[in-house]
Amino acid sequence: MKDGQYADKKIIELRKLHRSLLWRFDLEVDAVPIRKERVRFSYRKLFDGKAQMLLPERFVQMPDTLARLRYLSDHRPQLILTGNDVTDNICLSCIDRNGRDLKESMALMQDSILITAPESVFYETGEIIGKNCDGYWFEYKSFTINDEAYNLQFLLGSEQIVILGVFNCCIRYFDQWKPFIIKALEYTEIFEGGVSRQLPGKEQNT
């Protein structure tokens, strides 16, 4: 395993900061401080109207030529959104649920990462309660030739649809992105047949 340039101890220490930041901002209204900029989040309809997510406003779709260079597999994500310098990215795919258990699927994803990149370092996991869907996330550190990358992988599902996604950035910026990405996932809404179906006991935000 490679020695981490960004100490694991530092990552653990910053967890309290992540949680405290959330109380200061409303993502639907406020611009939040990330990488010395004020970043706004806005709603986007995705996958021909099958889903709506709250995403960084400045993220744009990565050009296909660049996507082919960065993601060599033909099974690259269906949608790749990227920031100004293409080091902050959100990758998304939409698939049929077909009875998948999301928690089991998440465990399989973690196992797959360890098979292909055994040097990866895993940290926290968590649950997501979206507007009308639910799911799970986990985070891990991976290694590139010259740097370390932070990855936050997630699954969000309704009865019929699953959204697979991963946010990644340079590890030195993870503490600025993480609390807001996790919070933004809670605003996700999935539409089945053009209709939003609420989770039992959960009221629609207006």
What's the CATH code of the domain at 14? 3.40.1000.10
The predicted pLDDT at position 48 comes to 95
| Per-residue pLDDT at 110 | 96
Q: DSSP assignment of the chain, as one string?
A: -PPPSS-HHHHHHTHHHHHHHHTT--TTT--EEETTEEE-EEEEEETTTTEEEEEETT-EEPPHHHHHHH--STT--SEEEE-TTSSSEEEEEEEE-TT--HHHHHHHHHHHHHHH-TT-EEEEEEEEE-SS-EEEEEEEEEE-SS-EEEEEEEEEE-SSEEEEEEEEEEGGGHHHHHHHHHHHHTT-EEEETTEEPPPTT-PPP-
Domain of residue 171: give its range.
8-186
Tell whether the model's pLDDT for residue 175 goes beyond 60.
Answer: yes
134-165 pLDDT, tens digit per residue, is 999 999 999 987 889 999 999 999 999 999 99
Mean pLDDT of the chain: 87
Residue 191 within a domain: no
Q: Is the pLDDT of residue 6 over 70?
A: no
Residue at 172 is within a domain: yes
Please check whether residue 197 lies inside any domain of the structure: no
For residue 196, is it within any domain?
A: no
Q: What is the pLDDT of residues 45-61, one digit of tens each?
A: 999 999 999 999 999 99
Q: Which of 24-33, 36-45, 62-71 has the lowest mean pLDDT?
A: 62-71
